[in-house]
Structure 1
Amino acid sequence: MKTKFAIFDIDKTIIHTDSMFQFLKFGIRKKPASSPVILNVVLRSLLYKLGLMQAEKAKSAYFHAMRHLEDADLKHFYETELKPAIYPDALKKMQDKKSEGYHVLLVTASPDAYMRYFAELPYVDKVIATKLSVKNGRFTSMIEGNNCKGEEKVHRIQQYLTEQQLTIDYDSSCAYSDSLSDLPMLGLVKHKFLINHKSAHGCEGLRWNR
């Protein structure tokens, strides 16, 4: 049986900020001695843009603080930095879609270590995120598998559909993102929306205000 899906990116789509930068700052506040990691972040980001480093390795620098944090710290980060950053329009859209019988799916390139808490929202059915490895009961900064971006989002969604024995009702489903890198994901549904973006690229534009 086909299911109506409402698929959302998170960073700058559901929330008005980039969670990786917020987490980097959060980690430095928790452990000020780790502040030199910023230089590593800049270097790896530059190497990635030059095509000299894989995204997975470049992004891991942002998560340097993971080894020092427990689940309670990650939950605190979500509660104090991410949840308050949710666009009111995005919140209402998720609530409306859930009440209309949609399967609400959040798919993000940011790590599951803290993005998983979005699944606690009563109108969210599932969060799919980049996976971080776990060592001695704590998340590490190392990405496990592939960065959940671009075509990888489609792969992870299809994997989820297979596991749950679900099929997307293309004509009735919708998807929302701020980024053109999500065009493969947006292609899974008929109704595509770009949030606060100048270009349409076959999508309808939506303006969400803070």
Structure 2
Amino acid sequence: MTHKVALFDVDKTIIQKDSMFQFLLFGLKKKPSSFYLIFLVVIYSVFYKLKWMKAERAKSSYFRFIKYMNEQDLEHFFNTMIKPYIYPEALMEMKNKKEDGYHILLVTASPYAYMKFFNQFDELDGVIGTNLVKRGEQFTHMIEGNNCKGEEKVTRIKTYLNEKGIMIDYDQSCAYSDSVSDMPMLQLVNQKYMINRHKHTAGCEGLTWSL
């Protein structure tokens, strides 16, 4: 079944902040005695930049505080460190698209463990994010499978839509992102929007959410 789809990145597209750094701040407030974990983040980030470490392992260091959190903590993090930074214009865009009959899907490289709470918004039909390994009911910082970025976003989107029995109506569908790393996702649709970017990006319209 062909359907109009609207694809949205999240960090710096739907929200003003980078949720990974927000998560570090939240983790430090919850467990100040684990400040040493920040040094691991710095070291792993340097190793990744030097190409000594895979992206998944370097990125997982940002989520080490999650071992101190339960579902209530993660929902509290979303409500206090993510939700307040949603661009009102982005939420309105999603609402308008929903009213126009679009299937609204958020696709983020950030963990589904806390991005899933976007599902509380009636404007959305689904959320896709990077999966973290669970041990029983507890999330770990380790990434399950691949980091949901670049081509992996396309793979995850196609899997999601296939399970829903939806085929993208290319001409009518749209996608929004702040980063050229999302170009594979943007290529799935005809209407491509780069958010809050001052440099021209070929094939994409510029769109600015006001603060």
Q: Same fold (TM over 0.5)?
A: yes
Which residue in the other structure is 1:5 paired with? Answer: 5
Distance 2:157 2:189 in 1: 12
Letter in 2 for 1:15: I
With normalisation by structure 1, the TM-score equals 0.98
Which residue in the other structure is 2:93 paired with? Answer: 93
Letter in 2 for 1:16: Q
Which residue in the other structure is 1:32 paired with? Answer: 32
Between 1:104-113 and 1:38-47, the stretch displaced more is 38-47
* Counterpart check, 1:120 vs 2:120: yes
Which residue in the other structure is 1:63 paired with? Answer: 63
Distance 2:56 2:167 in 1: 30
Distance 2:10 2:208 in 1: 15
Distance 2:34 2:100 in 1: 46
Which residue in the other structure is 2:181 paired with? Answer: 181
Which residue in the other structure is 2:81 paired with? Answer: 81
Distance 1:201 1:146 in 2: 28
Which residue in the other structure is 2:210 paired with? Answer: 209
Letter in 2 for 1:57: R
| Runs of 4+ displaced beyond 3 Å | none
Deviation of the 1:36 alpha carbon: 1.1
Letter in 1 for 2:41: V
Flag structure 2 segments of 5+ consecutive residues without an equivalent.
none
Superposed CA deviations along residues 144-197 of structure 1, whole A, max 9, x for unmatched, are 000000000000001111111110000000000000000000000000000011
Instruction: Give the % identical residues.
Output: 57
SS at match of 1:12: coil
* Counterpart check, 1:22 vs 2:13: no
Which residue in the other structure is 1:194 paired with? Answer: 194
Distance 1:122 1:137 in 2: 27
Letter in 1 for 2:205: E
Distance 2:37 2:49 in 1: 18
Letter in 1 for 2:21: F
RMSD: 0.7
SS at match of 2:142: strand
Which residue in the other structure is 1:165 paired with? Answer: 165
Letter in 1 for 2:119: A
Distance 2:169 2:104 in 1: 13
With normalisation by structure 2, the TM-score equals 0.98
Deviation of the 1:201 alpha carbon: 2.2
Distance 1:33 1:27 in 2: 10
Flag structure 1 segments of 5+ consecutive residues without an equivalent.
none
SS at match of 2:16: coil
